[in-house]
Structure 1
Amino acid sequence: MQINQNKLKQRLIMLSFVASILLTGLKFFAFYLTSSNAILSDALESIINVIASGFAFYSVYLSSQPKDRNHPYGHGKVEFFSAGFEGALIIIASIFIVVEAINRLMDPSPIQNLAQGSVFILFTILVNTAIGYKLLTEGRKANSLALVADGKHLMSDSISSVVLILSVGLIMLTGYVWIDSVASLLFGLFLAYSGSQLVSKSVAGLMDASDELLLDKVIHVLNENKKDEWIDVHNLRAQQYGSDLHIDCHLTLPYYWELQKVHETIHDFENILKASQVGETEIFVHADPCVYQCCYFCRIDNCPVRQHAFVQDIEWDAGKLTKNEKLYREARINIQE
């Protein structure tokens, strides 16, 4: 399943790469027909699509490679780097577009054949939207930031092209040539924002920033499948590197259990988490022995060493489970209240 998923990701990125080359050629031909600065800006931004798709293909290929001695956690982090690289290229392109738009506002030049050029731009909108939507959908399924970033880039390219078509229509209706440069300026600012968002997300991933949505998903699975013998879970951490998910935590179990029973329980715990994920999931669980304070929220029936009656459950959420301490402190607070 994992091999097929990686092949699908590579095929989608290759499709994006080939389509980007063809569509970039069409946009430059549209600029040749019209001499429109806005169309030129769109064409220049499409060069970024080509470079980014090529790098994204390499990153998806590399992230699919198995872990090795030099990369014990796999190669999935390269997808964060790919998204950041794409974002940086977008920002560079936006700077060039803004500068060129300002120059054309100060020294306008004639525009021609807008109707013919718009036909080519409309075609690129349809193709970019279809491929971008597919990349976004499959990228989210596979937890691939490289696919999602490339899909968002193509979708933003489609949106900007729609704005471009509207500006062309306004020029044809009003005859105001300066609308072309204003549209190009706005397009450049939009690209700068889009690129900065990609860079920000990339840096967060490379720095192992907490993914609250991912944590909530893992905790939801634990709550849905909670067993009485899982006395508590703490020091929970989850990181997504490409399609690979890494989870580690401490699981509190009865201190009097034999090692074989502890091993079997941890194995079941890991399998429940793995079954809820797409792609490879690597889990490290540290077994902690219970202490007498855990009795207040422990649901094990007929416990031979129980020192306190059960009082109440403790709700498992990200705020509690990510702490590096057993949950009996939470129980004590609740009981006092």
Structure 2
Amino acid sequence: MQPKKKAILISLCVSIILMLAKFVAYFLTNSNAVLTDAAESIVNVIASAFAFYSIYLTTLPKDENHPYGHGKVEFFSAFVEGILIGVAGIVIVFKSSYDLFYPSAIKQLYDGAIIIGSTGLVNLIIGFYLINTGKRNNSITLEADGKHLLTDSISSAGLVVGIVLIQLTGIYWLDGVISIALGLYIIFNGYKLTRRSVGGLMDESNIGLVKDIVSILQANRQESWIDVHNLRAQQYGADLHIDCHVTLPYYFDLNAVHQEISNIDKLINVSSSHQTELFIHADPCLPACCNYCKMSNCGVRQEEFKGEIGWNMENVTKNQKHFSQ
């Protein structure tokens, strides 16, 4: 089984078990704070199920209807998970606010704290496992699910502390206050996850990825690569698609141009952490390029070499050659 499928299947099975355990804790204690944690576990199960389906889709090969593959479904999966988290948080806040004014009796808090604490520890372990697996396989879905479980474990830790305080102080309205605080925390994390997924769906530029590519090209640039410009990157799940323009000597024949482009392709795929598909447009050099062109045996040079222009985010992403001032 593929690592991504294995990881999300483990998450789904564990989420179901922990959800049942948290509802047992709620029926033991009748605590709204515990119910808050149990309700969020329903979201965990739904999110993990949807994440499993989305990861299945990403493993499908490219086809006529999806020439770039199915990777973008991971952003949609993260979006759905963020929405579910936010809705759960809103419901929790409203219910807890109501129960502040119309409280119900709570009991067996220590038993509930033990169960909730145990589920939080399990979520912490599974959360780190999913995040690490997601980073190794460039899966936003696994990272999102892992961060969701880490959020849940933090909520559980705060809940255990709150339950102990209620038991020690006898101030039972703290139950509602703790629930509201946890609900707001859940809403905030849902917003962050949704914001990131929307950026991916809208092809928002991933500045970190582009910087990595620019650094790789700058560190390994060849004298025939006169400049690189109009560089853009789009991420589709674990795959990265890059298009750019590369200025090459105008007298290169088609075989030479093909070889230079192939060298850039191999360089990016060996050095980058992402599987990358490149679309490179070759531009011929102009006389104005001579003063920063390092070609040592150029028989058509019209100006002396004055100095190399370093590649950075400012000049590589612009749609123009790097004419020196």
TM interval, shorter chain, is: over 0.9
Q: Among residues 165, 174, 187, which one is paired with 2:169 in the alignment? A: 174
Superposed CA deviations along residues 196-254 of structure 1, whole A, max 9, x for unmatched, are 11111111100000000011111111111111111000010112211111111101000
Alignment partner, residue 264 of structure 2: 269
Q: Among residues 225, 246, 250, which one is paired with 1:251 in the alignment? A: 246
Aligned to 2:204, the other structure's residue is in SS state coil
Alignment partner, residue 81 of structure 2: 86
- Between the aligned partners of 2:157 and 2:307, the Cα distance in structure 1 is 57
**Mapping of residues 80-229 of structure 1, within 5 Å:** 80-229=75-224
* TM-score, with structure 2 as normaliser: 0.98
Q: 1:142, 1:278 within 8 Å by CA — same for their partners in 2?
A: no
Segments of 5+ residues of structure 1 without an aligned counterpart are 333-337
**Corresponding letter in the other structure for 1:211:** N
**Corresponding letter in the other structure for 2:112:** G
Alignment partner, residue 305 of structure 1: 300
**Corresponding letter in the other structure for 1:305:** V
- Between the aligned partners of 2:274 and 2:7, the Cα distance in structure 1 is 17
| Per-residue deviation, 1:302 | 2.1
| Per-residue deviation, 1:168 | 0.5
Alignment partner, residue 40 of structure 2: 45
Alignment partner, residue 36 of structure 1: 31
Detail structure 1 runs of 4+ shifted over 2 Å in the superposition. Answer: 277-280
| Per-residue deviation, 1:313 | 1.3
| Per-residue deviation, 1:280 | 3.1
Superposed CA deviations along residues 164-216 of structure 1, whole A, max 9, x for unmatched, are 00100110111000111101000111111111111111111000000000111
Aligned to 1:315, the other structure's residue is in SS state coil
Q: 1:63, 1:76 within 8 Å by CA — same for their partners in 2?
A: yes
**Corresponding letter in the other structure for 2:140:** L
- Between the aligned partners of 2:35 and 2:271, the Cα distance in structure 1 is 47
| Per-residue deviation, 1:68 | 0.5
Alignment partner, residue 240 of structure 1: 235
- Between the aligned partners of 2:218 and 2:56, the Cα distance in structure 1 is 35
Q: 2:113, 2:164 within 8 Å by CA — same for their partners in 1?
A: no
| Per-residue deviation, 1:278 | 4.0
- Between the aligned partners of 2:219 and 2:268, the Cα distance in structure 1 is 11
Q: 2:292, 2:307 within 8 Å by CA — same for their partners in 1?
A: yes
Identity %: 50
**Corresponding letter in the other structure for 1:234:** H
**Corresponding letter in the other structure for 2:288:** Q
Segments of 5+ residues of structure 2 without an aligned counterpart are none
Q: 2:123, 2:150 within 8 Å by CA — same for their partners in 1?
A: yes
Alignment partner, residue 290 of structure 2: 295
1:231 paired with 2:219, answer: no
- Between the aligned partners of 2:192 and 2:74, the Cα distance in structure 1 is 15
Superposed CA deviations along residues 2-24 of structure 1, whole A, max 9, x for unmatched, are xx7xx100110000000000000
Q: 2:12, 2:45 within 8 Å by CA — same for their partners in 1?
A: yes
| Per-residue deviation, 1:143 | 1.5
